Amino acid sequence: MDHKILGVVTLLYLSIFFLHILYFAVKKEKMLSFMWILLYITLGLHAAGLVARWVESYRLGIGHAPLSNFYESLIFYAWCIGFVLVILKKRLTFPIITMMASLIALGFMGYASISSSVERKIQPLIPALQSNWLHIHVITCFIAYSAFVISFICGLLYLIKWKNVVPPKEMLEEINYRSVVVGFPMLSAGILTGAVWAHYAWGSYWSWTPRRRGR
């Protein structure tokens, strides 16, 4: 069930991307409002897919939020990117930013569903992850990562000069600042909640391994 919904969601991200390309070809402003409606629908359906996976995990008797393995991280990451776009909607008057962001979200969704190295089955939670800190830690981190996706796009666009397509430098700076202002405190909160959790679960703030546990 959740795989089917997320499959449709992946296609929707693809259509959002194509809609942008179409917009650059015909330049009809109406298409942009349609694009935003489509983005809302996609985001809603994406959330429904995550919830379906959550429900499914309970049906399997290993109930946990879909935030535990690599596949679930990618799917959640893509959702967060869409979410940050909606938060910044007022400032995203140039569609190039939403276009690149939807391409990145599409990339994560596509990689998650195609790559053979990604385990798509719902896996049980190992004891180390069985904690409510998991939700707080993962959500704050991924919102930060997604905000950084937007600032990455702004940084990239800053290097390109393309009148009427790429926003003026001041605007890029403003959007970049906004996304970093969301991302930086969120990542700090993510690292701190991670340290609190680690200290609570095994007595040290931070274990200096590249990744504490395989995601």
Partner 1 sequence: MSVIKNNIYKFLSSLSLTIFLLCFIAFGSIFGTVIKQKADVEEYLSIYSDTTYTIIKYLGLDDVYHSPWFIAAIVLFAINLALCTYGRFARLIKTEGKVALPDESELSDMSMVFHVGSKERENAIASIKKGYQTIYEGEEGVVLQKGVISRYGVYMIHGSILIILMGSLIGMLFGYKGFMTLRKGETKDQLILRGTPPKEVPLGFSLKCKDFQVSFYPGGAPKDYVSKVEVLDNGRVVMERDIRVNSPLSYKGINVYQASYGASTSFLFTIAGERVTLSERETYEKDGLVMMIARFESSIHNFGPGVLVAYLDQGEPKVVWFLKDVERLKEQKIQGVNIKLEDIKENFYTGLEIAKDPGVWVVWTGFALILFGLYANFFIYYRRIYIRNIPDGLIVAGIAFKNREGFKEEFEKLKRKVSGNGS
- Minimal distance, residue 96 CB to partner 1, in Å: 21
Give the Cβ contact number of residue 206 at 10 Å: 11
- Minimal distance, residue 74 CB to partner 1, in Å: 21
If the CB atoms of residues 156 and 192 are measured against partner 1, the closer one turns out to be 192
Q: Does 204 bind partner 1 (CB under 8 A)?
A: yes
Site stretch for partner 1 (CB under 8 A), options 2-10, 29-37, 104-112, 180-188: 180-188
Q: Which residues contact 157 (CB under 8 A, 6 or more apart)?
A: 96, 97, 100, 166, 167, 172
Question: What distance in Å separates the CA atoms of residue 13 and residue 38, rounded to the nearest whole number?
Answer: 9
Look at the block and give the residue holding tokens 């969120």: 186
Q: Which positions from 33 through 72 interact with partner 1, judged by CB under 8 A?
A: 62
If the CB atoms of residues 6 and 186 are measured against partner 1, the closer one turns out to be 186
If the CB atoms of residues 160 and 214 are measured against partner 1, the closer one turns out to be 214
Question: What distance in Å separates the CA atoms of residue 141 and residue 76, rounded to the nearest whole number?
Answer: 11
**Contacts with partner 1, 89-128, as mask; x by CB under 8 A:** ----------------------------------xx-xxx
Name the token pair of 159: 């290097």
If the CB atoms of residues 41 and 128 are measured against partner 1, the closer one turns out to be 128
Handedness of CA 110, 113, 117, 119 (dihedral sign): positive
Q: Does 131 bind partner 1 (CB under 8 A)?
A: yes
Q: How far is CA 16 from CA 31, 88, 99, in A?
A: 10, 17, 8
Q: Does 214 bind partner 1 (CB under 8 A)?
A: no
Handedness of CA 14, 15, 17, 21 (dihedral sign): positive
Chain contacts with partner 1 (rule: CB under 8 A): 62, 123-124, 126-128, 130-131, 133, 174, 181, 184-185, 188-189, 192, 195-196, 199-205, 208-210
